[in-house]
Amino acid sequence: MNTLLISSFFLFGIIVGSFLNVVGLRLPIKQSFVHGRSECPHCTHPLKWYDLIPLISYIIQRQKCRYCHKNIAPLYPIVELSTGLLFAFSVRAIGLETELMTALLLIALLMIILVSDLTYMIIPNRLLLFFFPLFILMRLINPLTPWWSSIAGALGAMILLALIILISKGGMGAGDMKLFGVIGIVLGFKQTLLAFFLSTIIGALIGIILLMTEVIGRKQQIPFGPYIVIGTLLTYFFGENLANWYFELLI
């Protein structure tokens, strides 16, 4: 595959990623992300265009605000870089097919959720309502086999999550349930279950590590959204292989 194409998707992803940061930060608190100037979250000094170059500004300014010298959260450059890498990986794995659009939309949704769930512990309804019809449209263009796997995935995941929320009383929220409903359309029934399984395992592992290293306290709530992000991306790109590998282990 063309190196130029892959690198342009990488750059495109980094730029999109910086917009996704803004959406993730402003949508949950109902600020406009189209209008309104960017400002430092600490000193609210308005930021100039050269403070806002994705990744580059962060590196040049040594992770600090130019005006108040407070640290800039590493989450923003991480989201920019991840979006760039994932966009590049998508075009390499899928090629210039219509399914590429589904992949880019899925990555965009998940990156926004990463920012908003880590910052506010919110998965905004408006965000899910925006992406839901887009994914339905993409699955009408590129149906799964069988086509109704999308519907089964969305319903199955929401019922499963609803049961878990009822039984566990906490840990997972209504936002996570609705998110899985949207993801189910893209992944279909089997893969949505795999994504859920992976999210839970990864969540448990990281949770144990965070507790053991005392990064978080025993009673502290941790958002589940980031694990769903990781589990979903792994499943979307490697689901087939992961499922085969898992079944081979069983046999």
Write out the residues near Zn ion by the rule CB under 5 A.
40, 42-43, 65, 67-68
Instruction: Name the minimum Å distance from CB 81 to Zn ion.
Output: 22
Phi and psi angles of residue 46, each rounded to the nearest 5 degrees, phi first = -60, 140
Of 30 and 62, nearer to Zn ion (C-beta) is: 62
CA angle (147, 137, 16) in 5-degree steps: 125
Helix (H) or strand (E) holding 247: helix 225-250
Instruction: Name the minimum Å distance from CB 25 to Zn ion.
Output: 15
Q: Which amino acid is at 13?
A: G
CA distance 14 to 95: 19
In order of 51, 63, 120, 239, 242, the CA distances from 234 in angstroms are 33, 29, 24, 7, 9
Of 43 and 141, nearer to Zn ion (C-beta) is: 43
Q: By three-state DSSP, how is residue 23 classified?
A: helix
Of 41 and 146, nearer to Zn ion (C-beta) is: 41
Instruction: Name the minimum Å distance from CB 117 to Zn ion.
Output: 24
Q: By three-state DSSP, how is residue 71 classified?
A: strand
Instruction: Name the minimum Å distance from CB 42 to Zn ion.
Output: 4
98: tokens are 């219509």
Of 11 and 43, nearer to Zn ion (C-beta) is: 43
Of 60 and 174, nearer to Zn ion (C-beta) is: 60
**H helix intervals, 169-219:** 174-187, 189-212
Of 42 and 126, nearer to Zn ion (C-beta) is: 42
Phi and psi angles of residue 71, each rounded to the nearest 5 degrees, phi first = -70, 140
Instruction: Name the minimum Å distance from CB 48 to Zn ion.
Output: 12
Instruction: Name the minimum Å distance from CB 30 to Zn ion.
Output: 23
Residue 19: burial class (beta carbons within 10 Å; 0-12, 13-18, 19+): middle
